[in-house]
């Protein structure tokens, strides 16, 4: 298995632009998580899905952020419009159920200038 696949690995964009981050979870995993990591705040959960349904989006910072999971093999995290304070590494992770660990993607390093 190729693991959790995230794209792009790096993204540099100008303030105000729309940014879309993509994630392909491990086949058969039914939970998918989006995390953000910054120097100031460490790792934070943004949103997680179970069986493609959003379960907890309390970590989504504001309306500029949205996430979708149209099917079991694909999820997107969109920021519109982007701001410099959104600069961070965004990780996607998936798990098969509560009794198993998590597999993390390699992350997307986002820089908003």
- Choice between 14 and 44, CB closer to other proteins: 44
In whole angstroms, the minimum distance from the beta carbon of 7 to other proteins comes to 15
Q: With CA atoms as reference, report the closest residue to 21 among 68, 53, 84, 83.
A: 68
Contact present, 44 and 36 (Cβ < 8 Å)? yes
Touching other proteins, residues 84-103 (CB under 8 A): 89, 91, 93, 95, 98, 100-103
**Is 113 near other proteins (CB under 8 A)?**
no
Residue number with CB closer to other proteins (81 or 96): 96
Q: Which residue, 78, 88, 90, 89, is CA-closest to 33? A: 90
């Amino acid at each position: 298995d190729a693991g959790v696949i995230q794209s792009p690995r790096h993204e540099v964009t100008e303030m105000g632009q729309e940014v879309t981050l993509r994630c392909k979870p491990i086949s058969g995993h039914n939970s998918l998580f989006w995390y953000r990591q910054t120097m100031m705040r460490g790792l934070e959960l943004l949103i997680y899905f179970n069986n493609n349904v959003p379960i907890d989006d309390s970590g989504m910072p504001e309306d500029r952020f949205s996430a979708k999971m149209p099917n079991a093999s694909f999820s997107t995290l969109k920021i519109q419009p982007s701001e410099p304070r959104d600069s961070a590494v965004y990780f996607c992770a998936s798990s098969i159920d509560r009794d198993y660990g998590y597999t993390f993607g390699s992350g997307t390093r986002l820089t908003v200038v």
